[in-house]
Amino acid sequence: MSFETEIEKRRTFAIISHPDAGKTTLTEKLLLFGGAIQTAGAVKSNKIKKTATSDFMEIEKQRGISVATSVMAFKYNGKQINILDTPGHKDFAEDTYRTLTAVDSVILIIDCASGVEEQTRKLMEVCRMRQTPVIVFINKMDREGRDAFDLLDELENELKIKVRPLSWPIGIGHTFQGVYTIFNKELNLFSANKTNISDDIINIDDVNAPLVDEMIGEEAATTLREELELVEGVYDEFKVEDYLDGNVAPVFFGSAINNFGVKELLEAFLEISPSPIGRESNIGFIEPNNDKFSGFVFKIHANLDPKHRDRIAFLRIVSGKFERNKFYNHSRIDKKIKFANPTSFMAQDKSIIDEAYPGDVIGLYDTGTFKIGDSLSEGVKLQYKGIPSFSPEIFMELENKDPMKAKQLDKGIKQLTDEGVAQLFIQQPGNRKIVGTVGQLQFEVIQYRLEHEYGAKCSFTPKRYFKACWMTTHNEEQLNKFIRAKTQHIAKDKDDNYVFLAETPFLLQMAQQDYPDITFHFTSDFKIKTKA
């Protein structure tokens, strides 16, 4: 099979949503249709012992939430599908933002009862920023919810994007009978089926055909025809290029837990979604069909298998062909590295691969060589852009509860912050460890994982900081003066960059006024090595 064909057959996308909209459930059902699993697990809940395939960390199973991005690959209708299932909980939004740098498109899930929620807006902002194509799946149609037209209006108003229904629901809640797929003129009748694939699909060339009345009843058929006529009158004709440019979001309706509407979504997605696209680097835009291999690390996960203490870097391939046991340039440390056991993923199941292509996400066993944002390449050295750290919102000082386990604690917190679970700032004197996160739940995860994976117990003391600000300047003298004046509020991040921990917006504003030659940044995108 040719290199170009390998690229074209791949689809790499993320599934994003507000918590509890059904994201992990939809992921499982896509795997079910792809034959990657035979029976879907129950929806996660604290009352159900059976947990979802894509949730593998023990704390995820206990809390019934996804806190780490899972990567799953399977084949369907001749396509190689790579799904990145992201955390829905807002406390882990930064992991989701980073994941969105590694995908070419997104499926956004909306709960038909709740509509657009806070986290949905934030995620959509990131997609808009990157012009990522988005397909919307309105879920839980078998439950009582809101009118389809009202939901579509809310999507347009709240998410600032045009929508175009490509399927349409027949009723909702107790009157829900199925969906009519506008995209390929099929009637799919609903039957609750939580574990297996349902095939109650009837091809209908003409929605006015008497067969429709027979199948769903005269009243429902009349309503369907009226609503479809309204859809065609209100919404512009669907054009794939508008979707690929990120200007229009196609919308599908269904019930993921019942496997309903999922097949239509998957098949339409494979037909219209983009094959792998290139990325911007420090030497220009790199196209996927460039024959030289390159890729970037967007996630690191330690102890994916607690029995083996492994640490895996997740690498998105951007161009060329990756080959096992071949040497590649690690740009940041300027060193050539080869990989004996690169892996592909099916949740926690891993298999060794000999080669991989643009769009694929592979796991590289890592001994501490990689950091998030690192690039690998063949031939020319390059660095991919756009995987920033954001200023945390909550800061706490890490305290060791067992002095005999100081080494384990140091190693654990370093590895966890390398993963991007949180950010670590070191303050002097005394090497005090300030941990910054975007949500409270991350501290629970850190505490749990330090104890269960590294044998180190810790506690956290809240610190009253407003922002962590990275600093750049061309006036070294002014920087030195600022650091001396603000010693108690200066720290270094894990890359040894100076950071100002501002206590209040007012004190930050005063610092900006008093030290005009210093630029204070709220993301690490702008980091420049500046030493006093």
Per-residue CA distances from 37 to 45, 325, 510 (Å): 20, 30, 58
Residue 264 has a pLDDT of 85
Q: How many CB atoms lie within 10 A of CB 458?
A: 21
Residue 500 has a pLDDT of 95
Name, in order, each residue with C-beta under 8 angstroms of 286's C-beta and a sequence gap of 6 or more. Answer: 278, 279, 280, 294, 318, 319, 382, 384
Quick check: do 3-272 and 279-377 share a fold?
yes
Residue 516 in tokens: 């005009």
Is pLDDT above 50 for 56?
no
- Upstream peptide bond of 429 is cis (omega within 30 degrees of 0): yes
Tell me which residue has tokens 């990120």: 246
Query: pLDDT category, 61, cuts 50, 70, 90?
Result: low
| Architecture field, domain 3-272 | 3-Layer(aba) Sandwich (3.40)
The structure's pTM equals 0.77
Q: How many helices (H) and strands (E) does the chain have?
A: 14, 31
Considering only residues 294 and 53, tell me which one the structure prediction assigns the higher pLDDT: 294
Q: Of 63-67, 144-148, 218-222, 390-394, give the lowest mean pLDDT range.
A: 63-67
Helices (H), 160-288: 210-216, 218-234, 240-244, 262-272
Residue 117 in tokens: 């929620």
Please say whether the beta carbons of 503 and 491 come within 8 A.
Answer: no
**Domain boundaries along the sequence of the chain:** 3-272, 279-377, 394-526
Please say whether the beta carbons of 81 and 32 come within 8 A.
Answer: no
Over residues 328-339, mean pLDDT = 92
| Architecture field, domain 279-377 | 3-Layer(aba) Sandwich (3.40)
Taking the C-alpha atoms of residue 512 and residue 80, their distance in angstroms, rounded to an integer, is 50
Residue 39 has a pLDDT of 58
Per-residue CA distances from 142 to 16, 169, 413 (Å): 21, 10, 44
Considering only residues 348 and 508, tell me which one the structure prediction assigns the higher pLDDT: 508
Tell me which residue has tokens 């669907």: 238
pLDDT in tens, 455-474: 999 999 999 999 999 999 99
Torsion of CA 486, 487, 488, 492, to 10 degrees: 110
Over residues 228-243, mean pLDDT = 92
For residue 524, the 8-state DSSP code is: G
Taking the C-alpha atoms of residue 434 and residue 449, their distance in angstroms, rounded to an integer, is 17
Per-residue CA distances from 35 to 14, 189, 406 (Å): 19, 22, 46
Please provide the CATH number assigned to the domain covering 394-526. Answer: 3.30.70.3280
Residue 18 has a pLDDT of 80
**Distance in angstroms between the alpha carbons of the first and the last residue of the chain:** 55
Please say whether the beta carbons of 92 and 441 come within 8 A.
Answer: yes
Query: pLDDT category, 302, cuts 50, 70, 90?
Result: low
The DSSP result for 105-117, as a single string, is EEEEEEETTTBS-
> Where does residue 461 rank: exposed (0-12), middle (13-18), buried (19+ CB within 10 A)?
exposed
